[in-house]
Amino acid sequence: RDMLWLREQGHPVDGFELSELAITQFFDENNLSAERSEVGPYQCHRHADLRIYQGDFFAAPELGQRYRLV
């Protein structure tokens, strides 16, 4: 729910999860549709400015982004 709250405050949100089932359940439980695409070593599940990457967070430097909050 923290990710949704941050998004409601106007922040883009990136999350990381290993389980595809957990990602699917998150979007379903919150009535959000998600587009899927490949981004580096990840499957990216995206709804507007909310992205959940399926894979290992510690591989995130491969995305070429820095994160201020974890």
For residue range 23-43, list pLDDT tens digits in order.
999 999 999 999 999 998 899
Instruction: Look at residue 8 in the predicted model and tell me its pLDDT.
Output: 93
Mean pLDDT across the stretch 5-30?
95
d(CA 56, CA 5): 23
Question: pTM for this structure?
Answer: 0.84
Average pLDDT, the chain: 89
Mean pLDDT across the stretch 40-57?
93
Cα–Cα distance list, 66 to 2, 14, 32, 39, 59 (Å):
19, 11, 26, 15, 12
In a domain, 55, yes or no: yes
Instruction: Look at residue 45 in the predicted model and tell me its pLDDT.
Output: 98
The residue among 43 and 61 whose pLDDT is bigger is 43
In a domain, 69, yes or no: no
In a domain, 68, yes or no: no
Total tally of structural domains belonging to the chain: 1
In a domain, 42, yes or no: yes
In a domain, 65, yes or no: no
In a domain, 35, yes or no: yes
Q: 47 in helix, strand or coil?
A: strand
Domain that holds residue 30: 2-59
